[in-house]
Amino acid sequence: MSIIPITVYGDKILRQKARPVNAVDDEIIGKIRNMFETMRNAKGLGLAANQVGYRESIFVLDLEGVEGYEKFKPVVMINPEIIEKSDQLIKMQEGCLSLPALHAEIERPEIIKVRYLDTDENEKEIDGDDLLARVILHEYDHLIGKMIPDRVSDDVKKKLRNELNKIMHREVEIDYPVTEA
């Protein structure tokens, strides 16, 4: 396993749509292990493949360290698809490993259902609410080339512009490895 530098705002891969995984082989399993190690090293709750330069439609989640989620087992979602979203929306502060030191209020559906493949290529579905739904939707956004700045109003985006430029030019303090500018 390896800790991989995390891509940050401005890296082109973060705006590219992920490619479906056709088969879960040793290479994919190795990438997933690297993703978990990288995410945990950066103290994240989730990590999408393109955040470490991989193009596959995969993200990993680990909420065990969050109060109320201690029994939640780490999850790998391969080729995830959001199949249901509640009409009820909630706003919450979000951060992102690819946007270090930046937080913004993001409105998202409170409840979702997602279909995905696990590492044994079994199709699974999971219902998520509150934090679980938010983390899934955040990581799913990465796989379709979206990020926090795409989920805020133009006024908020203007206020974030200076911070975004600092991130893009690696002018913020980051305590985990990131890609070079």
At 1 the pLDDT is 81
C-alpha to C-alpha distance for 131 and 93, rounded to whole angstroms:
11
For the chain, give the percent of residues with pLDDT over 90: 98
pTM of the predicted model as reported, rounded to 2 decimal places: 0.95
Structural domains of the chain, with CATH: 12-168 (3.90.45.10)
Written as six digits, the tokens of 68 are 């109320």
Query: Quick one: average pLDDT of 136-164?
Result: 96
CA distances from 57 to 18, 70, 73, 77, 147 (A): 5, 26, 20, 8, 16
Q: How far apart are CA 46 and CA 61, in angstroms?
A: 4
pLDDT given for residue 8 in this prediction: 97
Catalytic residue list: 139
